[in-house]
Copies of this chain bind each other. A is one copy, B any other.
């Protein structure tokens, strides 16, 4: 089969590799219907040191079950399924508490435990806990819904996780930092959770326009001190109840603690590209700000979101604005890197 590898910053290649096989009784093999490129894939695209050993890429997928191991009971051959971006048994103590990304039997794609999902076929460990069946099968789902179904693998539910962890609810002001696909998803999720006011910080008009369509009530193009001043002005000097940081770079976090209201919450879902950052009296502590977030346990939210997508209540797939063939996936990375595409679908 064909699969995607990254050999260093900017160096994405599609190669032919052996088809995956069932390794454990809990595995399943899934044939790709749609995959995509994630904003987090751009971090190694910027900084991965060149190596003769390619990094197996991709973690978002919808597809058809081709084969199941002997212990797999929740899905059957031929099922049309969503693959959450991390695998999990969905039964361990942390899964039961709603933090499936910390599953004691879980892990990540693109690692020795499981190859990446920008490929024609994928081996899914812990298939019982990791695959969610789309009712009706591929033939029963309108093609226009496929992109939105794919967002339940990661991007929309990562935005949802940010809003959920931030305790977005009616009457609250939410500020979303970042107009990438996760930020826009967080806008849509915040709207779903009843936020009264949603301020979107971003400067790419095509993207912020989609943010407005998703529910943003205000757009702030300024960054840094100017952006902070503008949000403080919009909130009557009080700051934002919830700030969703959907970028992952330090300046975005610095903006976040600049605009969070006393007693408010900063919810991060952009994978931090830093380890140390300010959390003392002058940033978080002095105003009793709470910092939360992490890798989204999308499995926890999937059962509730799937009917919303199938009913057309939400259409998070609008974040996709380009589609490439797997053979041409490198051009998808390039387009997202150049910001000529917001998020790129990959077809096998």
Contact = CB atoms under 8 A, between A and B. Distances in A.
B285 A271 contact: yes
Interface string A316-329: 00000000000000
Contacts of A293: 285, 288
Total copies of this chain within the assembly: 2
Nearest to A270: B285
Interface in A268-291: 268, 271-272, 274-291
A65 to B, nearest CB: 29
A97 B171 CA distance: 13
A289 B294 contact: yes
Interface residues of A, number: 38
A292 B291 contact: yes
A101 interface: yes
A279 B281 contact: no
Given A94-B262, A263-B94, A102 B271 contact: no
A157 to B, nearest CB: 14
A93 interface: yes
Given A94-B263, A263-B99, A272 B287 contact: no
A285 B294 contact: yes
Contacts of A281: 271-272, 275
A82 interface: no
A278 B277 CA distance: 6
A276 B295 CA distance: 22
A173 to B, nearest CB: 12
Interface string A231-269: 000000010000000000000000000000111000010
A98 interface: yes
Nearest to A283: B275
Given A93-B238, A262-B94, A99 B278 contact: no
A198 interface: no
Contacts of A147: none
Interface of A: 93-94, 97-99, 101-102, 165, 238, 261-263, 268, 271-272, 274-295, 297
Given A99-B288, A101-B262, A275-B283, 10 more contacts: A94-B263, A102-B287, A272-B285, A275-B278, A275-B281, A284-B294, A288-B295, A289-B294, A290-B291, A290-B292
In the complex, the 7 A-B pairs of residues with the closest C-beta atoms, listed nearest first: A102-B262, A288-B294, A275-B280, A99-B263, A290-B292, A272-B280, A291-B291
